[in-house]
Amino acid sequence: VYSIATRIAYAFILLINSIISWIMLTPWALEKLEHLTMDYMKIRCDGKECHGWVAVHRINFGLGLFHLLLSLLLLGVRTSKDGRAVLQNGFWGPKILVWIGFVVMSFFIPESFFFVYGHYIAFIAAMLFLLLGLILLVDLAHSWAELCLEKIEDSDSRLWRGLLIGSTMGMYLASFVMTILMYIFFAKSGCSMNQAAISINLIVFLIISVVSVQPAIQEYNSRAGLAQAAMVTVYCT
């Protein structure tokens, strides 16, 4: 119970952080930010583009420091019985204050730092984060598919059969819808980089979907299939 609740809580923090980051890209947020800092922060604009992405990097830098601190404090903790495990599963009030404190502190760091941080450190860290998330997601996908298959084999349950098929179709549908929306909003004429990225993602997820049901794969792991491919597809999309 603690594990599930803790994961939900951290996921909620990540969601809130992502929403705030997205808001920081809007002109309204940039104006409010300058006002709240009493013009300490000046949002530079080159032509029509304002550097709201620097504010996004500041917010995510604060979240990164928060998780780095937690990881150092929890170094060596392997079970919830460890005395320090309470730092992972509890103290949510103080932890949220620390997170907010790091975010606020990041706005007092010179902007020049974030030009270097955003182009190099954050870029590499983001790739590692996505790869780690993908590995964890594959494990989750296998666990979910195995649970459904076990329930189906034990009782021939229509409910679990429907959940497995429905979730798989739902994830594929969501992936196709998001792909279409990305083509409409982010792959207009002249956006060759976006067009290439979206097209490559589409081709790759079609390939892994076909490969996942090939006899050679099924022979190696009979529980592998479209459910795992669908979860990876919706994540990558």
pLDDT in tens, 124-140: 888 888 888 888 888 87
pLDDT at 96: 92
- Work out the pLDDT band at 45, boundaries 50, 70, 90: low
Instruction: Tell whether the torsion through CA atoms of 29, 30, 31 and 34 is positive or negative.
Output: positive
d(CA 82, CA 74): 10
pLDDT in tens, 148-157: 888 888 887 7
Residue 26 DSSP label? S
Residue 4 has pLDDT above 80, yes or no: no
pLDDT at 92: 86
pLDDT in tens, 176-187: 999 998 888 888
- Work out the pLDDT band at 48, boundaries 50, 70, 90: very low
pLDDT at 2: 56
Q: Tell me the one-letter amino acid at 185.
A: F
Residue 171 has pLDDT above 80, yes or no: yes
Dihedral of the alpha carbons of 117, 118, 123, 126, in degrees to the nearest 10: 90
Residue 31 has pLDDT above 80, yes or no: no
SS3 49: strand
Q: What percent of the chain has pLDDT over 70?
A: 89
Residue 163 has pLDDT above 70, yes or no: yes
pLDDT at 1: 45
pLDDT at 228: 82
* pTM summary value: 0.66
pLDDT at 173: 92
pLDDT in tens, 187-230: 877 778 888 888 998 898 888 888 887 887 777 776 677 888 88
Give Cα separations from 217 to 67, 174, 210, 214, 222 (angstroms). 37, 25, 10, 5, 7
d(CA 165, CA 161): 6
pLDDT at 223: 65
d(CA 222, CA 216): 10
- Residue 49: beta bridge partners? 46
Radius of gyration of the chain measured on its C-alpha atoms: 22
CB-hemisphere CA count at 13 Å for 95?
19
Q: What is the mean pLDDT of the chain?
A: 81
Any idea where the domains of the chain sit in the sequence? 2-109, 149-236
- Work out the pLDDT band at 51, boundaries 50, 70, 90: low
d(CA 108, CA 54): 12
pLDDT in tens, 69-86: 998 888 887 777 777 888
Give CA 9 to chain center in angstroms.
14
Mean pLDDT of 44-48: 52
